[in-house]
A and B are shown apart, each in its own frame.
Chain A
Amino acid sequence: MSRILIQNGRVIDPSQSLDRVTNLLIEHGRIAALDVPADHLSGDPEGRVIDAAGRIVSPGLIDLGTQLREPGHEEDETIHTGTAAALAGGFTTVACLPGTDPPLDSQGTVEFVQHQAERADHCNVVVIACVSKNREGKELAEIGQLVQAGAVAFSDGDAPIANAELMRRAFQYCLMFDKPILSHAEVKELTAAGVMHDGLESLILGLPGMPAAAEEVMVSRDISLAEAIGGRLHILQVSTAGSVEILRRAKARGVKVTAGISPHLFTLSDRSLRTFDSNYKTNPPLRSQQDVEACIGGLVDGTIDVICSQHSPHAEEKKMRELDLAPFGIVGLETALSLVVTQLIEPGHLDWSSALAKLTCQPAAVLGLSNKGTLRPGADADVTIIDPQAQWQVDTSRFFSKSRCSPFHGRTLRGRVETVIVGGRVKFHAEALVS
Chain B
Amino acid sequence: MSVAESELEYVPQQWTHSHLLGLESLTAEEITLILDTADRFKALVGDGRNKLKVLAGTTTANLFFENSTRTRTSFGLAARRLGADVVDFSASSSSLAKGETIIDTAKTIEAMGVDCVVVRHRTPGTPHLLAQNLGCSVINAGDGAHEHPTQGLLDILTIRQHRGSLTGLTVALVGDIAHSRTARSNIWGLKKLGAHVIVCGPATLVSRRWEELGVEVSYSLDEILPRCDVVNLLRIQFERQLTRPFPSVREYAHLYAMNKQRMARAKKDILIMAPGPINRGVELTPDVADGPQSVILEQVSNGLAIRMAVLWLCCGRRA
Contact = CB atoms under 8 A, between A and B. Distances in A.
Interface of A: 192-193, 199-200, 203-207, 275-276, 317, 320-325
B102 A322 contact: yes
B103 A206 contact: no
Contact of A205 (B125, B209, B212): B125
8 contacts: A192-B242, A203-B210, A204-B24, A206-B147, A206-B179, A206-B181, A321-B101, A322-B129
A206 B102 contact: no
A322 B121 contact: yes
B144 interface: yes
B96 to A, nearest CB: 10
A26 to B, nearest CB: 49
B242 A276 contact: no
B80 interface: no
A205 B146 contact: yes
Contact of A322 (B24, B125, B184, B209): B125
A323 B124 contact: yes
Q: Which 9 A-B pairs rank lowest in CB-CB distance, beginning with the nearest?
A: A276-B125, A206-B145, A206-B146, A322-B123, A206-B124, A276-B128, A324-B123, A207-B124, A203-B209
Contacts of A324: 122-123
A320 B181 CA distance: 24
A202 B241 CA distance: 16
Given A206-B145, A322-B121, 7 more contacts: A203-B209, A203-B210, A204-B24, A206-B143, A276-B124, A317-B101, A322-B123
Interface string B29-69: 00000000000000000000000000000000000000000
Q: Which of the listed residues A204, A206, A317 has the most CB atoms from chain B within 10 Å of its own CB?
A: A206
A200 B184 CA distance: 13
Contacts of B128: 275-276
A200 B128 CA distance: 20
Contacts of A320: 101, 103
Interface of B: 24, 101-103, 121-126, 128-129, 143-147, 179, 181, 184, 207, 209-210, 212-213, 242
Contacts of A200: 209, 212-213
A324 B122 CA distance: 9
Contacts of A204: 24, 184, 213
Contacts of B147: 206
A199 B24 CA distance: 18
Contacts of B145: 206-207
Contacts of A192: 242
B165 to A, nearest CB: 26
Given A276-B129, A322-B121, A322-B129, A207 B101 contact: no
A322 B126 CA distance: 6
B107 to A, nearest CB: 11
A317 B104 CA distance: 11
Nearest to B243: A192
Contacts of B121: 322
Contacts of A207: 124-125, 144-146
Contacts of A323: 123-126
B124 A205 contact: yes
B143 to A, nearest CB: 8
Contacts of A322: 102, 121, 123, 125-126, 129
B86 to A, nearest CB: 24
Contacts of A206: 124, 143-147, 179, 181, 184
Contact of B102 (A275, A276, A321): A321
Contacts of B181: 206
Contacts of B103: 320
A207 B128 CA distance: 14
Contacts of B122: 324
Nearest to A325: B123
Nearest to A320: B101
A2 B121 CA distance: 62
Nearest to B179: A206
Nearest to A318: B101
Contacts of A325: 123
A193 B24 CA distance: 25
A339 to B, nearest CB: 25
Contacts of A205: 124-125, 146
Nearest to A273: B125
B152 to A, nearest CB: 13
B207 A203 contact: yes
A206 B242 CA distance: 15
Contacts of B129: 276, 322
B106 to A, nearest CB: 12
A181 B251 CA distance: 47
Contacts of B184: 204, 206
A193 B178 CA distance: 14
A276 B147 CA distance: 13
A273 to B, nearest CB: 8
Of A192, A193, A276, A321, chain B has the most CB atoms within 10 Å of the CB of: A276
Nearest to B127: A276
Contacts of B125: 205, 207, 276, 322-323
A193 B146 CA distance: 15
Contact of B242 (A193, A199, A203, A275): A193
Choose among B101, B147, B210 the residue with the greatest number of A CB atoms under 10 Å from its CB.
B101
A324 B144 CA distance: 10
Contacts of A321: 101-102
A200 B101 CA distance: 30
A200 B210 CA distance: 8
Contacts of B146: 205-207
Contacts of A317: 101
Nearest to B184: A206
A376 to B, nearest CB: 51
A262 to B, nearest CB: 24
Nearest to B103: A320
A325 B128 CA distance: 15
Nearest to B102: A322
A80 to B, nearest CB: 27
Contacts of B143: 206
Contacts of A275: 128
A325 B144 CA distance: 13
Nearest to B208: A203
A190 to B, nearest CB: 11
A205 B126 CA distance: 12
B37 to A, nearest CB: 27
Nearest to A189: B243
A320 to B, nearest CB: 5
A211 to B, nearest CB: 12
